[in-house]
Amino acid sequence: MRAELATDVAVLKGKGVTPGLAVVLVGDNPASEVYVRMKVKACDDAGFYHESVRLRTATTETELLTLLDRLNADSRIHGILVQLPLPKQIDSTRVLQSVDPRKDVDGFHPVNVGRVSIGDPTGFRPATPYGVQQLLLRSGIETRGKHAVVVGRSNIVGRPMAALLLQDGPGGNATVTVCHSRTADIGEQTRRGDILIVAIGKPEFISGDMIKRGATVIDVGVNRVDDPSRKSGYRLVGDVNFEQATQVASAITPVPGGVGPMTITMLLYNTVQAARQWAPRSH
């Protein structure tokens, strides 16, 4: 997919448009810093113009909104990403609604949420569920007519994931069940999934006996657990018990190295999609 992207970028540059992404980070959350570094590196590798703006933890909402006004008006910037979570004095809903929907490459603006929800392909699809859908498509895993179970209903993963799986098209047409923290007997639901997608942020929550034999398991979770044997003192695990899952599943994504790199790739795709809006049309 990165190779395909390189071709798209070359075509755009030939038309005088270099895809441009602005990444805004407020505060010093260590996980956010890692994600922002990875995104900036991916922009460099892809030949994008990029700007990363780091603001102190005490930044006011007004300061952040003023910055977004500037980025919305900057013609070199086609995509704007505000790394979440934001410090508590800032209303993240208001911030996400202040990104121009044409530059909302994270797909969090209500206009894009609505477009994805009604199956309008011009809406930006949030990078993580979009990446999961591409992962399924490109691995030849049929979703049509299958029972997909999504665990987690957040606005950034679970809900848009369910919307994409429901769409009438490639990577869609599944029958979808969505589970959350109030779901009764979650194992009963997860065992019905031909495709099981887990995004809850609970280390190794899904055990082998919660998975249908032969299922495809997509583990979105990224959790730090203590590991004194590592120099860092921790290691990353998913929301699924990988060892147990491999005994029953026919396919599974690893953590790290599965959904994470796909998310970054789809962010680049969305930025190219955004940049195309400003490129002269070829005849």
Ligand X SMILES: NC(=O)c1ccc[n+]([C@@H]2O[C@H](COP(=O)([O-])OP(=O)(O)OC[C@H]3O[C@@H](n4cnc5c(N)ncnc54)[C@H](OP(=O)(O)O)[C@@H]3O)[C@@H](O)[C@H]2O)c1
Show which residues are catalytic.
Answer: 39, 83, 106
Residue 64 and residue 55: Cα distance in Å, rounded?
8
Is residue 37 near ligand X by the rule CB under 6 A? Answer: no
Residue 91 and residue 86: Cα distance in Å, rounded?
8
Task: CB nearer to ligand X: give 139 or 181.
Answer: 181
The arrangement of strands across the sheet holding 195-198 comes to 175-179, 147-151, 195-198, 216-219, 251-252
Q: How many other C-beta atoms can be found within 10 angstroms of the C-beta atom of residue 30? A: 7
User: In the complex, which residue's CB is closest to ligand X?
Assistant: 154
Among 79, 87, 123, 158, binds ligand X (CB under 6 A): 158
Shortest approach of ligand X to residue 99 CB, angstroms? 18
Q: How many residues does the chain have?
A: 283
Tokens 């490109």 correspond to what residue? 138
Q: Return the range that interacts with ligand X (CB under 6 A); candidates 1-9, 22-30, 65-73, 196-204.
A: 196-204
Task: CB nearer to ligand X: give 12 or 42.
Answer: 42
Q: Establish how many alpha carbons lie within 13 A of residue 174's alpha carbon, considering only the half-sphere containing its beta carbon.
A: 28
Q: Could you tell me if 68 and 8 are in contact, meaning their C-beta atoms sit under 8 angstroms apart?
A: no
Task: CB nearer to ligand X: give 12 or 260.
Answer: 260
Among 60, 180, 233, 277, binds ligand X (CB under 6 A): 180
Is residue 135 near ligand X by the rule CB under 6 A? Answer: no
Residues that bind ligand X in the complex, under the rule CB under 6 A: 128, 151-154, 156-158, 179-183, 186, 199-202, 220-223, 259-260, 263
